[in-house]
Amino acid sequence: MKAVLIGPIQQENLALGYLAAYARAKGHEVAVVAYAYRKDLDRTVERALAEQPDLIGLGIAFQNNVDDYVLLVRTLRERGFRGHLTCGGHVGTFCWEELLAELPELDTVVRHDGEETLVEMLEAIARGESPRSIAGLVWREGDRVVKGPVRPAFGDLDALPRPERSPEPYVVGGMTVDFLISARGCVGECSYCSIAAYTSEQRKSYRLRAPEAVADEIAFAYHERGAKVFFVQDDLFVLPGERAAITRMERIKSAIRERGVGDVVFWIKGRPENISLPVAQAAREMGAIHMFLGVENASSKRLKYLGRTHLPIHNDSAIDNCRAAGIVPSFNFMLFDPDCTLDDVGTTLDMADRNLDLPWNVCRTEIYSGTALRERLATEGRLEGNWRSFGYRMRDERAEVMFRILRVSLNERALAIDSLLNRLISLSFARQLHAHFFPSRATSALDEAVTKLGIEARRDTVARLRELRDLVANAPLRDARAMQRFAVEQGLAIGAFDMPLRERTEALWNQLHARGRVQTHRQGNAQVRSRGGFEVAAGS
């Protein structure tokens, strides 16, 4: 059978890549088509229909863009697709009832990991049957919707074929970045996180690949795709338990060296309570130069509310240990949650102020289907919105007002996908790559410029948030017009302040990109000449 899989591919989509590879290994033809934004609708539909597929599957990862996929489903039918139309991902796993109720054009929904489910669906279609009675699938029988049994999690991840990847590489600082999954699931039970909820019904919530299998994939990317930078997308890469974490990273390090892989670096993720100094040192020796830490908040009350298993002291020690090991940590501060107070916000701002040289951003705790926090708010009668986008009002009225002003005034600085603070996290990683692979005086100057720019933006962010907090703490909240005026005035002032910062950000990004391409090309030519027996001079 022939299938088309559609989903966002901004930073690779290994979920679709694994589905495509597994189905191809079972003898089916599969094409992966990108669909990130509504502006891509016509091109996506044309590419999908050109394949003349028997099945089209949509990978819907985020609830906030459900409407884009509703439009895609309807457009595919309007343009003549008569084959089987299904969807999956986190949204499909939790919102299958809503999807099938709203979209009669949709035939089925896949829940949880989809490799085996997809293949069984294609086999049913090949037999001339409508897919049903398949584990992990939800389907229609007349006017009824029937949920099949939960499919057990795919146990042996090493048995999966290597995922299909985009032909166009993702590039940071002029260097090819490949994405990697060494584990699926997480051992955490954070109340706001849909990852834990996604695996809660399955028999194995956390599964590891063998270090040697991970090394095989790294070696392939290094030798065949020229990748020296790897973004590990595991939700939990650093294992709980110091000895286990260190042993696994040592085995990965040894295995990639045995496969002839030279100097490579990693971006990894870690929970603060797991990052001791020996663990951070082992990560650095493996090649990690950047670690995204699940810091979340600096208040012990808020961490407990969010279901975290660490304390504020773990946040500080993890950051200190990363610094000592030569790893740059980054993180998001969840300044707001349904029960936070202005005092809690102030505690986290103090932590942000202590780490202005590190790349971080601020946000609100959002609500996702399937999570304990969603169920809690629903029970308390505080859940707002619907399955497309849930919301809430904070108990503390002043915290609620602060967030409403922030949402207007700091949207482009912090909350938007392409916000300045998010761009600065990417820029910081780019300058790390140059510091590692192309050390020189010119690199040091770029490093200093990026660091200075980040500190300037983050210092101003803390200052404005403190000003806003103090204003809200003392102002009469009934004067809504005054608050609205302040939000707009602050938004305009921050926009004007950010304009030159954004220009500097993009200029540095472009400079690092162009310089990285040149340096990578020089190093590639140097390696060729070296293998040919010619003496090679050190690059600038």
Q: List the one residue out of 152, 159, 169, 255 whose CA is nearest residue 204.
A: 152
Q: Return the SS3 of 403.
A: helix
In the prediction, which pLDDT does 116 show? Answer: 96
Q: Does residue 339 surpass a pLDDT of 90? A: yes
Angle at 458 between CA 453 and CA 459, to 5 degrees: 100
213-233, pLDDT tens digit by residue? 999 999 999 999 899 999 999
More confident residue, 112 or 527: 112
Q: Does residue 527 surpass a pLDDT of 50? A: no
In the prediction, which pLDDT does 204 show? Answer: 67
Q: Return the SS3 of 455.
A: helix
The pLDDT-based confidence of 531 (bands split at 50, 70, 90) is very low
DSSP state of 12: B
Rounded Cα distance between 383 and 490, Å, is 29
The pLDDT-based confidence of 534 (bands split at 50, 70, 90) is very low
Q: List the one residue out of 152, 169, 194, 142 whose CA is nearest residue 366.
A: 194
Q: List the one residue out of 491, 409, 422 whose CA is nearest residue 457.
A: 422
Q: Does residue 533 surpass a pLDDT of 80? A: no
Token pair listed for 142? 């007349």
Rounded Cα distance between 511 and 197, Å, is 42
Q: Are 122 and 137 in contact (CB under 8 A)?
A: no
Mean pLDDT of 95-107: 94
The pLDDT-based confidence of 65 (bands split at 50, 70, 90) is confident
Q: List the one residue out of 243, 174, 183, 170 whose CA is nearest residue 217.
A: 183
Rounded Cα distance between 66 and 96, Å, is 12
127-153, pLDDT tens digit by residue? 999 898 899 999 988 888 999 999 988
Q: Return the SS3 of 350.
A: helix
Q: Are 453 and 498 in contact (CB under 8 A)?
A: no
Q: List the one residue out of 249, 302, 254, 296 whose CA is nearest residue 273.
A: 296
Q: Does residue 393 surpass a pLDDT of 70? A: yes
On average, the pLDDT of the chain sits at 92
In the prediction, which pLDDT does 49 show? Answer: 97
Q: Return the SS3 of 230.
A: strand
238-274, pLDDT tens digit by residue? 999 999 999 999 999 999 999 999 999 999 999 999 9
151-207, pLDDT tens digit by residue? 988 878 999 999 988 878 889 999 999 999 999 988 888 999 988 778 777 666 789
The pLDDT-based confidence of 480 (bands split at 50, 70, 90) is confident
Rounded Cα distance between 528 and 364, Å, is 50
In the prediction, which pLDDT does 460 show? Answer: 98
N-to-C CA span, the chain: 53
Express as a percent the part of the chain with pLDDT over 90: 82
Determine how many CB atoms are found less than 10 A away from the CB of residue 506.
Answer: 12
Q: Return the SS3 of 170.
A: strand
In the prediction, which pLDDT does 259 show? Answer: 97
Rounded Cα distance between 290 and 435, Å, is 12
Q: List the one residue out of 94, 105, 139, 73 whose CA is nearest residue 387.
A: 94
In the prediction, which pLDDT does 344 show? Answer: 97
Token pair listed for 524? 């590639």
